[in-house]
Structure 1
């Protein structure tokens, strides 16, 4: 099972080896989608966790015990075909490969199954053609 979470780190927890402990103690694989972590500052980590449902639940409880605030991905990415001009900027920042442009027509392709809702594409779209549907 997979679970995409956004973790907010308090200053005190930034130095914790979070992904190592998830793997060793809980047998949960973590794939970092986006990270903004600096020493002695609050941090944010968007991560996709994979493992058995019981292990994921235990790992999530452990994360909360460290003082991390956790939120799940809400919604899904939607692309407005009327506004999109297939520029491909969004595909250049997509970490999962859900967005791509390929030959021969160079039209934007969106694979919803691969999307991890990291929302990076929303910020870079110059025409506001990408949004988050809740």
Structure 2
């Protein structure tokens, strides 16, 4: 089973080797989608956890016992076609090629199944046509 979650670390828990402990103690793989972690600051990690449902639940319980806030990451990228001018700037920063320009029409194409919601495209869009939808 897979579960996408957002982990928010308090300052004192930033040194906890979370992904190592998830793999070693719970047999849960953690695919890091986005990370914003720095010493002596609150950290945020968006991860996709993979493993047995019971192991995932145990891993989430352990993270919460470490004072790590665990919440479901259900955000999706949305594109406002009214605002989009098909400039293609977002395609240059998309790490999974979920955003591409159609070579025949030069219109922006979005493949939702490839999107990891890294949000790199949002600040790149000059018309603010790209956002997240919770």
TM-score normalized by the length of structure 1: 0.86
1:102 shift after superposition: 5.4
Distance 2:62 2:16 in 1: 12
2:67 maps to which residue?
67
2:56 is paired with a residue whose SS is: helix
Distance 2:66 2:7 in 1: 11
1:6 matched to 2:6: yes
1:105 shift after superposition: 4.2
2:67 is paired with a residue whose SS is: coil
1:83 matched to 2:83: yes
Q: Deviations over 1:2-56 (max 9, x none)?
A: 2111111111111111111111111111111111111222211111111122211
Q: Deviations over 1:54-102 (max 9, x none)?
A: 2111111111111011221234221122221222222233344322235
1:17 matched to 2:55: no
1:41 maps to which residue?
41
CA gap of 1:26–1:73, structure 2 versus 1, over 3 A, is same
CA gap of 1:55–1:94, structure 2 versus 1, over 3 A, is farther
CA gap of 1:92–1:60, structure 2 versus 1, over 3 A, is farther
Aligned CA-pair RMSD: 1.9
Q: Would the aligned equivalents of 1:33 and 1:95 in 2 still touch at CA under 8 Å?
A: no
Question: How many residue pairs were aligned?
Answer: 134
CA gap of 1:26–1:37, structure 2 versus 1, over 3 A, is same
* Structure 2 residue ranges without an equivalent (≥5): none
2:127 maps to which residue?
127
Distance 1:93 1:60 in 2: 31
TM-score normalized by the length of structure 2: 0.86
